[in-house]
Amino acid sequence: MALYSRRRVLQGAGLLLASTALPSWSFAQDTPSGGRLIVAADSEPRNLNPAIVASNGVFFISSKVIEALAEADFEAEGGVVPRLAVSWEGSEDGLSATFKLREGVVWHDGQPFTSADVAFSAIEVWKPLQNLGRIVFANLESVDTPDDLTAVFNFSKPTPFQLLRNALPVVTSVLPRHLYEGTDIAANPANAALVGTGPFKFAEYRPGEYYRLERNAEYWGEGQPRLDEIIYRVLPDRAAAAGALEAEEIHLAAFSAVPLADLARISQVPGIEVVSKGYEGLTYQLVVEINHRRAELANVEVRRAIAHAIDKQFVIDTIFLGYAKPATGLVPQNAPEFYNPDVPQYDFDVAKANELLDAAGYPRGANGVRFSLKLLPAPYFNETRQFGDYLRQALAEIGIDAQLVNNDSAAHQKAVYTDHDFDLAVAPPVFRGDPAISTTILLRSGTPAGVSFSNQGGYANAEIDALIDQAAETVDTEARTALYNTLQEKVAEDLPLINVAEWGFITVARTSVLNVGNNPRWAVSNWADVALEQ
């Protein structure tokens, strides 16, 4: 851990600065260039390939190396700006979408980027392998490449272009065809040593220590990237991030790596700023995942009782220290386009929860316990773990004995999403601007085991499946929104999972880091314009 001593880092940064300072000054007089940005990383994903695992833990590192067709933006029309694609258009009938690609882009290994890479990624990776792509591109039939810079997506059933556009930043990470074609894509070595077109090249990974990305001198963005290097220092101990920031060992800790309890204090430290912007496109939802294979949990009355047992306001005030909102249902309030407030609510009411359980035929035993459950809190965030501690206590109040099982990230994902070895799990899924991107997957039946952040609880409801499928093919925006409103009602009634809270994250950075939080997906964007004041 101590390999990157501060002196060595500073020495290295100085040398690198000397070698790159002159050329970069020629076109960037006002913004500083060069330097090594050191960032706290709290987890080490097993598979770093964002085209296969579209999750923020992976994007946090890989989005700097592998780019998508477009990126989210605060001002742009439709909320997205071009990256590898320069323009896009959907057909009236929703059966095709045309993307014009950027000219003169090369892969990090020198090969040219063409529409064949996009076609390959879409057909061979996004649709069959990606956790989110298999939903968004469910009806993708083929991708035509009339020339090197045009890709035409053909769909077998109408696919709303609004959904495609909302999904572009998340599901369209383009992989180099020449490295993946004809190989076992899921086991390709390039999943760990990434090769992309992004502003930074993947340089080195030392397990338990750091990831190192270095400047891609051939990047298409003029004068970008500004930084020479990004180091992700693995700091699994969250309490260490604040100390490392104050000691100037790291420049930045994103995703609330600095505990919320520490924010009030650290915002007073000179040279450090607390930024809450930059997470608008990634609303996290605190959700209780339910394994419907358990007879008790397959009973909707039991699920309603559990919902009544959770004091959302306590969770907001105590665990999130006010940096969150109580959830009213499947869609968060900051997605006004889809949010439906008129759904059944489950107020905090322990007496009612106990009544429901008694009526459902689960009386308390001699020791006051109705039945025991295995509860797996996701280890990704302080808040999910603390909510696990809270939920155990909340369930004890209604006579359900929840036994906590703590795992690391890899073991947790395997236990929940592959082995289904859980009864309740605490998960932080993300709402990404459209329910069809990463929200309906939590409900739709039929996802094979092993797909992370999907419905692995064995929940199968034909009515909900039909609504999801219909909305996925409805091109008309109003009709589509109406379908999602119905879906929210059905979900609140049947509770396939329990939404507890929704929150955005906090970035804590040294003030020397420039352009922090300047787009709605900032932490997982490409950081081509991030700079360090020397």
Nearest approach in angstroms of CB 420 to another protein is 17
Nearest approach in angstroms of CB 352 to another protein is 19
What are the residues whose beta carbons fall under 8 Å from the beta carbon of 301, sequence distance 6 or more?
356, 357, 359, 360
Helix/strand/coil for 354: helix
Nearest approach in angstroms of CB 175 to another protein is 34
Residues that bind another protein (CB under 8 A): 237-239, 242, 259, 261-262, 264-265, 314, 318-319, 382, 386, 389-390, 392-393, 396, 403-406
Q: For residues 177 and 392, which CB has a smaller minimum distance to another protein in the complex?
A: 392
Q: Decide: 285 and 327 in contact? Cβ < 8 Å.
A: yes
| Token pair recorded at residue 293 | 């294979």
Task: Map 311-349 to HEC letters.
Answer: CHHHHHHHHCCCCCEECCCCCCCCCCCCCCCCCCCCCCC
- Smallest Cα–Cα separation from 55: which of 193, 170, 169, 136? 170
Q: For residues 193 and 321, which CB has a smaller minimum distance to another protein in the complex?
A: 321
Q: For residues 80 and 245, which CB has a smaller minimum distance to another protein in the complex?
A: 245
Euclidean distance between CA atoms 106 and 13, whole angstroms: 27
Q: Decide: 228 and 20 in contact? Cβ < 8 Å.
A: yes
Nearest approach in angstroms of CB 515 to another protein is 29
Give φ, ψ of 312 to 5 degrees.
-60, -40
Q: For residues 343 and 404, which CB has a smaller minimum distance to another protein in the complex?
A: 404
Q: For residues 352 and 374, which CB has a smaller minimum distance to another protein in the complex?
A: 374
- Cα Rg of the chain, angstroms: 23
Euclidean distance between CA atoms 506 and 259, whole angstroms: 9
Q: For residues 157 and 420, which CB has a smaller minimum distance to another protein in the complex?
A: 420
Nearest approach in angstroms of CB 320 to another protein is 12
Nearest approach in angstroms of CB 274 to another protein is 15
Euclidean distance between CA atoms 445 and 457, whole angstroms: 9
Q: For residues 87 and 406, which CB has a smaller minimum distance to another protein in the complex?
A: 406
- Side chain identity, residue 335: A
Nearest approach in angstroms of CB 394 to another protein is 8
